[in-house]
Structure 1
Amino acid sequence: MATVVELNPTSEKSEFVLGTAVNKTPPRKVLSLCSMRYGIAFIAHFCNFTLIAQNSIISITMVAMVNNTNHLPHLNSSAGLNGDQHEASKHLSIKAPVYNWSPQTQGIIFSSVQYGMMLMQGPGGYLAGKIGTKKVVGIALLGSSLLTLCIPLAASLGLAFLLAARAAQGLTQGTGYGGQFALWQRWAPPNERSRLCTIAMSGMTLGIFTVLLVGGIISEALGWPFVFYIFGGIGVLSCLLWFILVYDDPVSHPWISDPEKEYILSSLNQQFSIEEQPLPIKAMLKSLPLWSMCLCSITHQWLVNTFIIYTPTYISSVFKVNIRDNGFLSSLPFFAAWVFGILGGQLADFLLNKNFRLITVRKIITILGNIPPAALIVALPYVQSSYITTIIFLTLSCALCSLCQAGVYINALDIAPRYASLLMGTSRGFAHSSAVLVPVVAGFFLNQDSEFGWRNFFFVLFAINLLGLIIYLVFGKADIQEWARERKLTRL
């Protein structure tokens, strides 16, 4: 007769963790930025830097890729186009081809990469749990890099080839993003999860900052195809770093110290037995905390993807600046977001050490990452007459937005650490549905009304963001759910 016995981590003196016997004595804390787990976080940081840079290159190069004569009137900016900008446009067109893409066509191009991102993050997390993060993410990073190198050729062959290349790139990038979450099931002690995860995920904002900052300069100096060539080459080289230095867990890492290994394994609050257990799919589908986490991720990503996709376009339409200056101005918000993202993880762990409840910390951080940024975005059309105020609002909004990295986005590690890689990947996959919808909705508003299009689009953004936040505040939890607890099958 088979029975199910729930494992109680506090009632046993020892048990197997990742296949290794660990004494259940209070762990000696090994905290150092030179430790191996922080090294893994910084390598994941660089991996995310590379993937998001390759994903968002087209956000800045689009300014140079389109025929400005046909494109700018849709954004109500042709009236301010001066002689210097015409000369810059001619200069760019000599170095690289330009295309007659309407705002709606550009929206389709922007969103084409997001379908694969949406579909593959959940499976990527599942695969990483089965065959290892090292293989899954490494192969995905290599595939994305090779496809990035092919984007200029695909664009020259036609719109259909470009969309196909971007879609395939999305599949690889989605696998890479989803696959990395399995690392933190095995590498992150509970009291360091916020900072380790935010160090890794903040690589995304640094990647966007970098590609926007240098993308305009490269486009102006060498032509927009070289932005793809340079970041594609960086990605190929980063694969070597990943395959050499990253291991799936502390047990298999050849260079980790014994004290750090013991500390990590002893600190994990969710133990992993050798025996495989079936996924509690029905219980997951009925879980309101899980659904609230997914929905809040979707609505917050609507805000994030608005920044990623439309910051250069908004600055171009309002201030009529050249691509080099556009790249500099567009990058400032993401540098601030990179700093705030890392600080957000430190803030979350600080509050936890001050005995704040875990769910309180997650919700406070999530509120700060939603309401103020969305309100600042709504205010943009009303302050666009002031150059400095607009840039300050954009920068503050984007910076505060990144705080959610230590909030709702890592909530799966709290409610179901055993299935965290699958659930974090799946929730981020759902969230990327917003990246598909944002360009479509924005293209609709900007085509319908060039004067009030931005204002209407920003009001829709605020309403969507507020809805997801309310759902998370009502139903969000941070304790391990019953369906996610460790159970062991025994025979009587």
Structure 2
Amino acid sequence: MGWIRRVRDRIAARYLLCLMFFLGITVTFILRVNINLAIVGMVNSTSLDLTSEGTQSNSSGTCLPADGSVSTNKQVEGGTHGEFNWSEVEQSVILSSFFWGYLVFQVPGGRVAEVVGAKRVFGGAVLINGVLSLVLPFLARTHWTLLLVTRALQGLAQGVVFPALSAAVISWVPLSERARFMSFAVQGASLGTVVAMPLCGLVLNAWGWEAVFYVSGALALLWCVAWWLLVFDTPDQHPRISREEKQYLKENITQKHNEKSSWFTSLPYLGQWVFASVYGTFADTLLKRKKMSLLGVRRLSIAVSHLLPAVSLLALSLAGCNATIAVVVLTIAVSLIGAYSSGFFQSPMDIAPNFAGSLTGLMNAIGSISPIVSTPIAGAVLQNDSTTNGWRVIFWIAALMYTLCSLPYIICFKAQIQPWNNAEKAEVKSAPALIMSNVASSDAEDGEIDMMTKSKQG
């Protein structure tokens, strides 16, 4: 086994840690989005479609067969014969239940990781998700509310993923390497979303929807075994780290952490959670009292969630080395982003409620391109200049992107149901690969914000 020792000694412990975080985040996102494709096989969409069509007439505005007949015995093209007769509303609640728990543990998750250790917190989160994935089919068959609770618990556990990553980086990665480390690690979010769709599709077609959760859970447990064997909270605890690397890390990492830093890091996420809730109520009130049209509310929300953060990022680029101003401005910027849930995130339901799920998936699939492109750019900029000047360039780029992405929406969006909304829904159900996670891009963005916040403190 001497060759194993030689190979191990050639791989720096922090590089192996980065790889394990990358794979771990990949697994968590597979666990996050697997239900988005599995639900296609779980729901008896054929039954739902036939029930719906049986009550329609030629004057309903929907597309009927050429002969005008509606048969209650036919199989709708693209329909599935799953065992659950969940309505569209129930399906949407199931798909969103993950984020009930995910929002809750963002702030305390970071502090727990710093006190308990990133190894146990991150590893425990993946372990809990894996076990819950294995029992999810049984619970779903018992009652659909148990499925909601299970998904919410998975979200609760995954809420610590990016905070735990940041906590580990502080102990393991020198400031000059953090951009590359974080850029690589957080790409697991994109890879997990990309891999989940074909993987879950193959498993679904071969063994059924239950196997989607069994395979996902098994992957999580296999990763956990490697995690517990290979990863340690600090270089001092690592039994196999080389003397050279250990000395290098001691010389380049300051171990005296500011107790307030964890709370400063968490403030933007706490602010976004609170602001999103308050702003959502405000937007609903504007509509209910007819103070503003639906289109006006959507445009206002995009202005708040994109243009105001862009201005904040420009201000952040001028903060220099003033940590207090940087934390305040960053918290304001990230908090304002919370208005997106009342803006573009509602748009699919505004223009095509029959295809809201598919449009949301397509929207987020396109949005997932952002972290794939932006993180390497940030890494390249910081590799050349890791000073405040480098971060200033990144903030300028981010502000520009927020502005460019918001203006077409504000100018062109029409909050009106489109004529093609009445096309036969079977056409959408024949393309389940369009259904994607409704939060992939937001978490990858969370990972990037974590990177910026930690590096600002470093």
Across the aligned residues of Structure 1 and Structure 2, the Cα RMSD in angstroms comes to 4.9
Aligned to 2:76: 86
Q: 2:85 aligns with which of 99, 118, 123?
A: 99
Q: 1:166 to 1:182 in 2, by over 3 A?
A: same
Give the TM-score normalised by structure 1. 0.59
Please give the per-residue CA displacement for 1:206-262, whole angstroms capped at 9, x wherever unaligned. 111111222233323332222111101100111001111111122222232233333
Q: 2:113 aligns with which of 128, 146, 161?
A: 128
The question of whether the paired residues in 2 share the 8 Å contact of 1:45 and 1:201 is answered with yes
How far apart, CA to CA, are the structure 2 residues paired with 1:140 and 1:307?
Answer: 30
The question of whether the paired residues in 1 share the 8 Å contact of 2:183 and 2:375 is answered with yes
Asked which structure has the greater RCO (Cα within 8 Å, sep 6+), the reply is 1
Any stretches of 5+ residues in structure 1 without a counterpart? 1-31, 386-393, 418-492
Q: 1:358 to 1:38 in 2, by over 3 A?
A: same
In the comparison of the two structures, how many residue pairs are matched?
359
What are the within-5 Å matches in structure 2 for residues 308-319 of structure 1? none
Q: 1:272 aligns with which of 249, 256, 270?
A: 256
Comparing 405-414 with 300-309, greater Cα deviation is found at 300-309
Q: 1:201 to 1:400 in 2, by over 3 A?
A: closer
Given the alignment of the two structures, is residue 152 of structure 1 paired with residue 137 of structure 2, yes or no? yes
Overall identity of the aligned pairs, in %: 23
Aligned to 2:294: none
Q: 1:53 aligns with which of 30, 46, 52?
A: 30
Given the alignment of the two structures, is residue 346 of structure 1 paired with residue 331 of structure 2, yes or no? no
Aligned to 1:456: none
The question of whether the paired residues in 1 share the 8 Å contact of 2:367 and 2:441 is answered with no
Please give the per-residue CA displacement for 1:159-212, whole angstroms capped at 9, x wherever unaligned. 211111112222222234432321111112112211211211111111111112
Please give the per-residue CA displacement for 1:99-142, whole angstroms capped at 9, x wherever unaligned. 32223x33322222212211212222212211211111112211
Q: 1:404 to 1:335 in 2, by over 3 A?
A: closer
Comparing 185-194 with 279-288, greater Cα deviation is found at 279-288
Any stretches of 5+ residues in structure 2 without a counterpart? 1-8, 54-59, 268-322, 421-434
Please give the per-residue CA displacement for 1:448-488, whole angstroms capped at 9, x wherever unaligned. xxxxxxxxxxxxxxxxxxxxxxxxxxxxxxxxxxxxxxxxx
Q: 1:219 aligns with which of 200, 204, 216?
A: 204
Superposed displacement of residue 413, structure 1 = 1.0
Aligned to 2:239: 254
How far apart, CA to CA, are the structure 2 residues paired with 1:151 and 1:343?
Answer: 36
How far apart, CA to CA, are the structure 2 residues paired with 1:346 and 1:245?
Answer: 26
Q: Secondary structure at the match of 2:236?
A: coil
Which amino acid letter does the alignment assign opposite residue 454 of structure 2?
A: L
What are the within-5 Å matches in structure 2 for residues 40-439 of structure 1? 40-69=17-46, 70=48, 79=63, 86=76, 88-89=78-79, 92-93=80-81, 96-103=82-89, 105-268=90-253, 270-272=254-256, 289-297=326-334, 333=366, 336=369, 339-340=372-373, 342-352=375-385, 357-367=389-399, 370-373=402-405, 404=445, 408-417=449-458
How far apart, CA to CA, are the structure 2 residues paired with 1:282 and 1:288?
Answer: 11
How far apart, CA to CA, are the structure 1 residues paired with 2:451 and 2:49?
Answer: 40
Comparing 179-188 with 279-288, greater Cα deviation is found at 279-288
How far apart, CA to CA, are the structure 2 residues paired with 1:347 and 1:77?
Answer: 53
Please give the per-residue CA displacement for 1:247-306, whole angstroms capped at 9, x wherever unaligned. 1122222232233333333223x4417xx9578979997955335434544565787999
The question of whether the paired residues in 2 share the 8 Å contact of 1:123 and 1:178 is answered with no
How far apart, CA to CA, are the structure 2 residues paired with 1:80 and 1:241?
Answer: 55
How far apart, CA to CA, are the structure 1 residues paired with 2:95 and 2:170?
Answer: 33
How far apart, CA to CA, are the structure 2 residues paired with 1:306 and 1:34?
Answer: 46
Q: Secondary structure at the match of 1:248?
A: coil
